[in-house]
Amino acid sequence: MRQVGPVAEEIEHAQSSLIFTNTRSQAEIWYRALLERRPEWAGLIALHHGSLDKEVRDWVELGLKNGQLKAVVCTSSFDLGVDFLPVGRVFQIGSPKGIARLMQRAGRSGHAPGRVSRVTIVPTHALELVETAAARWAIGERRIEWRDMPLKPLDVLVQHLVTVAIGGGFAPGDMLAEVRTAYAYRDLTQAEFDWALAFVERGGTSLAAYPDYHRVIAGDGRR
């Protein structure tokens, strides 16, 4: 792994770094390789992927937030849903596997007004040099993959109803009108909304016998 040395040099000069890999095994390999190259980084760099215990992942995320970690080798587990301050450097090991994904990962650096997001792609073989050049061109031309928007995802609606109920409650009519202002739910029917409401109240027709699924209670016309 001839790339480990140059990457370690760049990490050395950054306050904090994320090293993205495409697989968990690749993350493990790079984590060990960096420690072998820089033994003094033990405790300063960490590993993060979906196979690790949640307690370990939480510790890594907190360490990055608090500035205790110099670098984290990670997979897509750090793409979305993890909140931390902007990092100094972002590396993509191997193929970017898509323009949108590469831009999402690049956005982990310079994530503040007036700052520029940058990512360094580290090809692992000659063909990935071509992919890297193509990715750079595509970003410059704004040729980003089209993503279909899910329409009326009822699982998200169910979670929203429970959250709003916990936060103070809602009137079903007002809630339906509000939900329809979201583009994905603009064509939500009354029957579909009633199904979601029945699900959070009594588990719908399938789970009515299980009290654990009775999440919302009706009272005075509100939930």
pLDDT above 80 for 110: no
| Residue spans per domain, the chain | 4-140, 154-213
Tens digit of pLDDT for each residue in 40-51?
A: 999 999 999 988
- Grade residue 157 by pLDDT with cuts at 50, 70 and 90: very high
> Residue range 11-25: average pLDDT?
90
Lowest pLDDT segment from 20-24, 113-117, 159-163: 113-117
Share of the chain above pLDDT 90, in %: 35
The pLDDT of residue 16 is 87
**Cβ-contact 204, 198 below 8 angstroms:** yes
Tens digit of pLDDT for each residue in 65-88?
A: 888 899 999 988 877 656 566 688
76 residue type, one letter: S
pLDDT above 70 for 28: yes
- Strand ranges of the sheet holding 17-20, from the earlier edge strand across to the other edge: 45-48, 71-74, 17-20, 89-93, 120-122
136: left (phi over 0), alpha (psi -120 to 50) or beta: alpha
The pLDDT of residue 37 is 92
Strand residue runs (E) in 29-82 = 45-48, 71-74
CATH no., domain 4-140: 3.40.50.300
**Helical ranges in 51-189 per DSSP H:** 54-65, 99-106, 126-140, 154-166, 172-179
pLDDT above 70 for 22: yes
Tens digit of pLDDT for each residue in 158-210?
A: 989 888 888 788 888 899 999 999 999 999 999 999 999 888 887 766 665 56
Residue 41's φ and ψ, nearest 5 degrees, are -85, 5
The pLDDT of residue 15 is 85
Confidence (pTM): 0.66
